[in-house]
Amino acid sequence: MYHSVRADPPPATHALSVHPDRFAAQLDALVELGLTPVPFGALVAHWRGVADLPARPVVLTFDDGYADFHTEVLPRLVERELTASLFVTTGWLADAGPADRAGSPLDATLSWTQLKEIEAAGIETGGHSHSHAALDAVRPAVLGDELARCRDLLEDRLGRPEQVFCYPFGYSDARVRAAVRTSGWTGACAVANTLARVDQGPYGLARLTIRRRTDLPTFRRLVAGVGVTRHYLADRALTKGYAVVRRTRASLSARPMLSAKPTLSAGPTPSPRPTPTREQDRP
């Protein structure tokens, strides 16, 4: 799982960015190790029994739709004749119409014209919601709109049926996964920081986070499946802990409000928990 590839990222995307030179070295390492990048949709289709894969497939995914995919990622993929999957937040696109703009991108984003060029170069594009909302925390009507607007815009502007989806922040639950399935997407990926397996199901496939600090020896070990659990131990513990917090919040917000007589305050109102940063892009 990648986000941004640029030499001088802004602070908001720095931790989850990769320097272009390091990214190029990672691509070369994949080739040297005998791994073949395939689109995410091809992996889903294979596990559904309708497509073949090379002996050692790997899926390169890019979330959000930042402009550096066109300037830094695409040329390096094309030079090596490799492919990837790009998941786009449609309301963030640079030339989104006034009625379609939504959310707050953390860096410059792609345009629709660039998306068409990216697809023409053999890169798979998929949905990443419309406004990059945490889908497991929104009302059903909002969830439906996030999925439908994203899908409709991509299909209308790119001229083909949309197939694959990626959960913003990696957040999903049974309700969200069911909505993605009934909306017509054939598969979706989360984060989880473990290797993807068929028993995860087509709507919860795991990915490994690649960060600014992921050096080349570590990258080579991870894509070879060596030391994955140990490397992401802290990530996975934090993921589980925050999942409990999110479930508790959702449960409390769903409870009916009870009327009560006003009482005197026993002290200052405690500060709310901080919102997780983008470094915590995990389910």
> Which tens digits make up the pLDDT trace of 25-80?
999 999 999 999 999 999 999 999 999 999 999 999 999 999 999 999 999 999 99
Instruction: Provide the pLDDT for residue 186.
Output: 95
Q: CA 222 to CA 193: how far, in whole Å?
A: 10
Domain borders along the chain are 4-233
The class that CATH gives domain 4-233 is alpha beta
> What average pLDDT score do residues 271-283 get?
40
The predicted-structure confidence for 179-211, as pLDDT tens digits, reads as follows: 999 999 999 999 999 999 999 999 999 999 999
Query: What's residue 98's pLDDT?
Result: 93
- Rounded Cα distance between 238 and 283, Å, is 10
Q: Is the pLDDT of residue 4 over 50?
A: yes
Q: What is the pTM of this model?
A: 0.86
